[in-house]
């Protein structure tokens, strides 16, 4: 009986501590809507991944609408709240989390990648995932469509740099 009561007491302490421990472990920045994002998104995603993405309101709206189509349980009002939270707290260039140090190889386009791409991505994302050389121009064009700032010549320079250094 004593063992059962001790076990129950230990379980109660762990259960009571868990919400605060989970809240402290939440990598999302504080703000109105954080709890809603945490609950809705963590059903399928590790929140650390979401915390590394940077996009504007229109881009976040596309992400969130897509997730609702895939089963995220959000009302239209909650979708608006989630999009507002994400755009205000995880917009381009806002509060990028510290990333593992990544040194890019020298070459024409390095500075453009370091200054333009890092507004929305950490360099680890660029360096860690090998892509086909032919895919980089498409990826860069998509980023420009999503709002990355690059003239056609700069986009070509970025694509060539990435294909040369991070393409298969």
Is there a contact between 166 and 125 (Cβ–Cβ < 8 Å)?
no
- Among 1-15, 49-63, 95-109, the range scoring the smallest mean pLDDT is 1-15
Q: Of how many residues is the chain composed? A: 168
Domain architecture of the chain: domains with CATH: 22-89 (1.10.760), 110-166 (1.10.760)
Q: What is the pLDDT of residues 147-157, one digit of tens each?
A: 788 999 999 99
Is 147 or 83 the better-scoring residue by pLDDT? 83
Q: What is the pLDDT of residues 25-54, one digit of tens each?
A: 788 889 999 999 999 988 888 888 788 788
Residue bearing the bigger pLDDT, 93 or 81:
81
Note the pLDDT of residue 85. Answer: 95
Is pLDDT at 93 greater than 50 in this prediction? yes
Q: At 71, is the secondary structure helix, strand, or coil?
A: coil
Q: What gap in Å lies between CA 133 and CA 41, rounded to an integer?
A: 33
* pLDDT tens per residue across span 118-164: 877 777 777 777 789 999 999 999 888 877 889 999 999 999 999 99
Residue 58: which of 32, 35, 92 has the closest Cα?
92
How confident is the model at residue 98, as a pLDDT?
A: 58
Q: What does the angle CA 9 – CA 12 – CA 17 come to, to the nearest 5 degrees? A: 130
Neighbours of 67 (CB within 10 A): 19
Q: How far is CA 125 from CA 7, 12, 46, in A?
A: 45, 41, 16
- Quick check: 88 pLDDT over 70? yes
Cα 128 to chain centroid distance, Å, stands at 15
């Amino acid at each position: 009986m004593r063992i059962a009561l001790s076990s129950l007491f230990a379980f109660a302490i762990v259960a009571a501590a868990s919400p605060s421990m989970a809240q402290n472990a939440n990598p999302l920045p504080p703000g109105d809507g954080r709890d809603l994002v945490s609950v809705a998104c963590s059903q399928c995603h590790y929140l650390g991944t979401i915390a590394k993405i940077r996009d504007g309101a229109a881009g976040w709206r596309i992400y969130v609408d897509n997730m609702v189509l895939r089963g995220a349980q959000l009302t239209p009002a909650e979708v608006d709240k989630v999009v507002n939270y994400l755009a205000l707290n995880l917009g381009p260039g806002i509060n990028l989390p510290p990333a593992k140090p990544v040194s890019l190889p020298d070459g024409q386009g390095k500075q453009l990648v370091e200054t333009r791409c890092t507004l929305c991505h950490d360099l680890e994302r660029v360096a860690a995932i090998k892509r086909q050389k032919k895919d980089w121009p498409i990826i860069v064009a998509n980023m420009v469509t999503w709002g990355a700032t690059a003239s056609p010549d700069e986009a070509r320079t970025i694509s060539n740099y990435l294909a040369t250094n991070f393409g298969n």
